[in-house]
Amino acid sequence: MSTPSVLFVCLGNICRSPLAEGALRAVAARAGVTILIDSAGTGNWHVGDAPDPRAQAVAARHGVDISALRARQVRAEDFHRFDHIVAMDRDNLAELRRLAPADAPARLSLMLDHVPGRKGKSVADPYFGDASGFGATWEEVLAGAEGLLDRITQPRR
């Protein structure tokens, strides 16, 4: 069986998706599960940039270091490289559906689809708010990461 793979996607790849990447790395490591994990943005404004300092700070408070991550833009080959492509909000999901090659095997979903009672909801973008918004974002992506890990590791029914 091949290693499962997940790509998290938000708009600029400096807030929500790197936090989601860090959260899934942490929960997978605790569970002893190997997963290929990456993140990207639908936009190109921040390509090459480190995550927002507020995102780095909230991750660090939870024992997760995302400082080495660098923003990149979604590429066509991502739809073939990753089993799961998980969008942070409905706009990003719509853009991913538009970009996806017709033969792409990746399963597209929203982050909060993996949290009971939150299906179809978006992770709020904390970028334009203060640091407290990043705490709420961390809680949402952590819950989504835990639910996604359960989905990946449970046998298909």
Note the pLDDT of residue 157. Answer: 47
Note the pLDDT of residue 131. Answer: 87
Task: Please list the active-site residues.
Answer: 10, 16, 125
Note the pLDDT of residue 127. Answer: 92
What does pLDDT average to in each consecutive run of 10 residues of the chain (157 residues)? 92 97 98 97 96 97 98 97 97 97 96 97 93 95 98 77
Give the residue from 156, 99, 137, 124 showing the smallest Cα distance to 22: 137
5-153: CATH superfamily = Response regulator (3.40.50.2300)
How far is C-alpha 56 from the chain's CA centre?
15
The amino acid at 109: S
Note the pLDDT of residue 1. Answer: 59
Spatial CB neighbours of 108, under 8 Å, sequence gap ≥ 6: 85, 86, 87, 93, 96, 97, 100
Note the pLDDT of residue 155. Answer: 67
Spatial CB neighbours of 56, under 8 Å, sequence gap ≥ 6: 50, 65, 66, 67
Residues 108, 101 contacting (CB under 8 angstroms): no
Domain boundaries, the chain: 5-153
